[in-house]
Structure 1
């Protein structure tokens, strides 16, 4: 397990030139650009697991007979605010492998005055494919050397089982639980009646009215080693659109809380037209965070000849604000109601991880 350990240093405190490349409009760090590094890091770690700890360059994919792609990002949780005056270390290693899948845990730490502080933790699921048939390709087994590594492997196995359980409970496959149906019904009665006039002005916002869209051409400068658009670049685009959506909705400064899930359904070809659509699925509040906003960003590739679209990625993000608001996102259709419940489930999982109490819509 330890052979796959890899790290990247970003010396923001000592390099104003580097810091300038990552500074956002508020003077902080562009989190979306860090996502690009984390995706690249996870890929490098997965290749290192298969090719060996001494590998320095990848070379041609056809020579190896396999390639590795990001299948999903299970979570990325921000544990402490970013600061532009501290050096950052991004690191990670493999903690679990299946027949053709590799789970990589990543960590972002702040380095200041000899102290290390963990800012972010996350998990990437990478999959190995045959370079010619594009079917599943077997990966190396994972050798465990210490009790700590055995514990990490057990956590990885627990994550796998949890993903399987969540997939089986997906609202795309099964109806909501009785308690979820009751929660949605009560919320719809209170906020969803279009004829109800006793709601304060602006308190109800229809989910469809929160949508933002961005359409762009995919250039070869953003390609990966497989000659497709780099997944980390897509993560950055989705993050920035999601941030804009939550910022416009709250009308207040927002802070990134978590990346709840990303699914990579298919690659994005160079030269394709990509349409990103964001919408707010759920809003809540808690003792720690007066305002919590959960956002979905969907990425579709558009066929110029027919106008048909195919989804390539589904991104789920959560932002928070220290300023409370009374505006509620309200679903109008059954489809939106299921998305509302998906957002609620994501925030419940995040609340359990972060120890958040009294989460309420």
Structure 2
């Protein structure tokens, strides 16, 4: 397992020029650009696992006879605020292998300065190997486990794969919502979906369809990967930035990133194509004593056929942000679905927020 370990250090603390390239409008670091690097890192780790640790260059895909793509991103969780005055180390390794798939665990850590090393973000990528000629599944090397710590990581990767299969089986694209979920949706609509709002309401209703934000882009060859398609990390960054802009407009103020809840890669995006990114606010949770308002945002990537106007969905992204606790002058805005399809998206958003709250709750307990 340790043979695939790879790391990259971004010296923000010592390089003002590098920091300038990554700085956002508020003096922090652009999270979307870091996600782009994590996707690239996960790919490098996967190639290192298949080729062996002694190989330094990839070479031509056709000559290698295989290629590796990102199948999905299960989660990326922000654990603490990024400190632009410190260096950032990105690292990871393969922790589990199937027949043609690999689970890659990655993390970001703040290092250097007079403080102890601190983990900033952790995440998991699912990578798959394909034959370069037939494009069918190609077997990958199995993992050799050499320590109790590696056995724990392997068990984690195995559990992640089982959980992914379970979530796919429970997807609202396949099965109806549970009776509890249906009741929750009904109660939400009775409270917030009526035409006339109560005069004393301390919240503002926003129909989900009115939260749409989108952008269309040409896909240029500068953003291609080793397979000649648009690099998945670039799509992650574009989706993150659109989702952040949409969420900021919805909460009418600053937000902090909590998690990338999932990404699915359904089809590659060709160079030269027109890509339409569409974003909606899918679910919101009101602030409590322990947690600020959380906002779950979905972004869909579609390739547009300019001749017919038809669109092919290539990616689905799900992100969660929280409203900045520094701003106290905000009235809760509640997103309400109008159609059945929007209602299913609303329930999927609730599931994602519930999982995130559970994870952060467990993390808080461990910290205490």
TM-score > 0.5, shorter chain as reference = yes
* Alpha-carbon shift at residue 252 of structure 1 (Å): 1.3
1:107 aligns with 2:110: no
Q: Give the distance between the partners of 2:167 and 2:23, measured in 1 at CA.
A: 37
**Map of 1:339 onto structure 2:** 345
What do the CA deviations read for 1:153-180 (whole angstroms, capped 9, x no partner)?
0111111111111111110111111111
Q: Which piece of structure 1 moves more, 194-203 or 271-280?
A: 194-203
**Map of 2:366 onto structure 1:** none
Q: How does 1:314-329 map to 2 (within 5 A)?
A: 314-321=316-323, 322=325, 323=327, 325-329=331-335
Structure 1 pair 329–199 and aligned structure 2 pair: CA distance change class (3 A): farther
1:263 aligns with 2:264: yes
1:293 aligns with 2:310: no
Kept after mapping to 2: 8 A contact 1:61/1:67: yes
* Alpha-carbon shift at residue 230 of structure 1 (Å): 0.4
Q: How does 1:175-254 map to 2 (within 5 A)?
A: 175-198=176-199, 200=201, 203-254=204-255
**Map of 2:59 onto structure 1:** 59
What do the CA deviations read for 1:86-111 (whole angstroms, capped 9, x no partner)?
10000000000001100000000001
What do the CA deviations read for 1:46-102 (whole angstroms, capped 9, x no partner)?
000000011111000011110000000000000001111110000000000001100
**Map of 2:165 onto structure 1:** 164
Q: Give the distance between the partners of 2:354 and 2:198, measured in 1 at CA.
A: 31
Q: Give the distance between the partners of 1:42 and 1:90, measured in 2 at CA.
A: 10
Aligned-partner SS, 1:307: coil
Q: Give the distance between the partners of 1:275 and 1:300, measured in 2 at CA.
A: 5
What do the CA deviations read for 1:100-156 (whole angstroms, capped 9, x no partner)?
100000000001326210000000000000101111111000110001111110111
TM-score, with length taken from structure 2? 0.95
Q: Give the distance between the partners of 2:202 and 2:121, measured in 1 at CA.
A: 38
1:348 aligns with 2:348: no
Q: How many residues align?
A: 357
* Alpha-carbon shift at residue 199 of structure 1 (Å): 6.5
Q: Give the distance between the partners of 2:31 and 2:197, measured in 1 at CA.
A: 41
Kept after mapping to 2: 8 A contact 1:288/1:356: no
Kept after mapping to 1: 8 A contact 2:203/2:331: no
Aligned-partner SS, 1:304: coil
Aligned-partner SS, 2:158: helix
Aligned-partner SS, 2:244: helix
* Alpha-carbon shift at residue 195 of structure 1 (Å): 4.0
Q: Which runs of 5+ in 1 are unaligned?
A: none
Q: Which runs of 5+ in 2 are unaligned?
A: 364-368
Q: How does 1:25-44 map to 2 (within 5 A)?
A: 25-44=25-44
Kept after mapping to 2: 8 A contact 1:291/1:325: no
Q: Give the distance between the partners of 1:153 and 1:163, measured in 2 at CA.
A: 15
